[in-house]
Structure 1
Amino acid sequence: MHSLPPPLPPIALDVAPDVVARAAKVRLVVFDVDGVLTDGKLFFDEQGREYKAFHARDGHGLKLLRSTGVETAVISGRKSESVSRRMENLGIDRVFQGIEDKLPVLQVLCAQQALSLDQVAYVGDDLLDLAVMRRVGLGIAVADAHFTLLAIAHWQTRQTGGHGAVREVCDLVMYAQGTLPGVIERYA
């Protein structure tokens, strides 16, 4: 005789109500790369080719978030073929690399999608992210971000960059928008 599996526990994230309210409005989440999607380490082989390590759970979180209708983009201060390949693999086509002044790029991206900055979450770790984080509706710093970003962020991940921080962000947005239970149920 087969018994039914136990029910899933209720979903409850320990997040301040104002952060949940901000995340509920988000229609676009923009990520920095080095220090957010990666741990910030740069690897080069003898030919000068750069390699980066990405967390698989972060990638899956990005796919799940996009499946709920929330758009994603990447704005990075550096250029890297490994970033291009990873984002292509994840189906993220809004990838801007070699951008030190990120705010104008974000403003154009918002204009193209008819979004206000209040509908944007931005995830960063260092000073290149400061101007953007100060203007978006939900500024998020990874746990090991520069102290300046930690001080101004609306929310801070528990995980460090490249070690599941992006998945936390994706889960937060889905939780705030009420889509997380349905996403989890797909796998139950």
Structure 2
Amino acid sequence: MSNQTNTIYGAISNQTAQLFLQTKLLICDIDGVFSDGRIYLGNNGEELKAFHTRDGFGIKAIINAGIQVAVITGRKSQIVENRMTSLGIQHIYQGQEDKTKAFKQLCQQLNLTAQQVAYIGDDVPDLTVMKQIGLAIAVADAHPLILNLADYTTRNKGGFGAVREACDIFLQTRGILEQAQGMSV
């Protein structure tokens, strides 16, 4: 019997596949994960971010499959509020310098253990939560400290489909990837 599980993104260990399977809540950072980490500022103070539509499709698919999704970000932005709300994300924590507080509130509110939580991050502010949860996911272009901690590192960079990749693996480990995405088997 093989000690690896094949995914559409390549083989992962059975242990990592089990971590994806036990996840009931995915927490995402925003800058560097949902976006490429760059913030565009206009002359009049307006802020712009780019979000990949594939990531949005993946989030909607895992929510429909029964996996809760939350975002915890250090910055505050109406753009983030609008985009995450449009995806059906109900748990949006912005302006969180200490992400652990929001993480603990989520676990208590949703009656989950830390082992049932996955977190996808890219930089040092994500470390405190990523050290406490069941499945730590790093985007491909994450800071080395995040990459060294991760149980899984995406092939895609933040803002370029990394969230979708993780969502696909959540669905595939549950045996519902094709069904969840409306594809025929």
How high is the TM-score relative to the length of structure 2? 0.92
* Gap regions ≥5 residues in structure 1: 1-9
Q: 1:40 to 1:138 in 2, by over 3 A?
A: same
Instruction: Give 1:11 deviation, angstroms.
Output: 6.2
Question: 1 or 2, which has the higher strand percentage?
Answer: 2
Is 1:112 aligned to 2:116, yes or no?
no
Is 1:44 aligned to 2:67, yes or no?
no
Identity rate, percent: 43
Q: Which residue of 1 aligns with 2:32?
A: 35
* Gap regions ≥5 residues in structure 2: 1-5
Give me the whole-angstrom Cα distance separating, in 2, the residues matched to 1:91 and 1:27. Answer: 16
Is 1:187 aligned to 2:150, yes or no?
no
Structure index of larger Rg: 1
Q: CA RMSD in A?
A: 1.3
1:82-108: CA deviations, max 9, x gaps?
Answer: 101101111112100010111121111
Q: Which residue of 1 aligns with 2:100?
A: 103
Question: More displaced, 87-96 or 57-66?
Answer: 87-96
Give me the whole-angstrom Cα distance separating, in 2, the residues matched to 1:11 and 1:36. Answer: 21
Is 1:62 aligned to 2:75, yes or no?
no
| Aligned-partner residue type, residue 179 of structure 1 | I
Is 1:78 aligned to 2:75, yes or no?
yes
Matched residue SS, 2:136: strand
How high is the TM-score relative to the length of structure 1? 0.91
Which of 16, 22, 32 is residue 25 of structure 1 equivalent to?
A: 22
Q: Is the 8 A contact 1:11 1:181 kept in 2?
A: no
1:143-175: CA deviations, max 9, x gaps?
Answer: 000000000110100000000000001011111
Give me the whole-angstrom Cα distance separating, in 2, the residues matched to 1:112 and 1:148. Answer: 29
| Aligned-partner residue type, residue 107 of structure 1 | K
| Aligned-partner residue type, residue 164 of structure 1 | G
1:48-105: CA deviations, max 9, x gaps?
Answer: 0111000000000000011100010000011111101101111112100010111121
Q: 1:11 to 1:17 in 2, by over 3 A?
A: closer
The number of equivalent residue pairs is: 178
Q: Which residue of 1 aligns with 2:146?
A: 149
| Aligned-partner residue type, residue 148 of structure 1 | L
Give me the whole-angstrom Cα distance separating, in 2, the residues matched to 1:119 and 1:178. Answer: 18
Q: Which residue of 1 aligns with 2:168?
A: 171
| Aligned-partner residue type, residue 183 of structure 2 | Y
Q: 1:22 to 1:11 in 2, by over 3 A?
A: closer
1:10-33: CA deviations, max 9, x gaps?
Answer: 965421211101111000000000
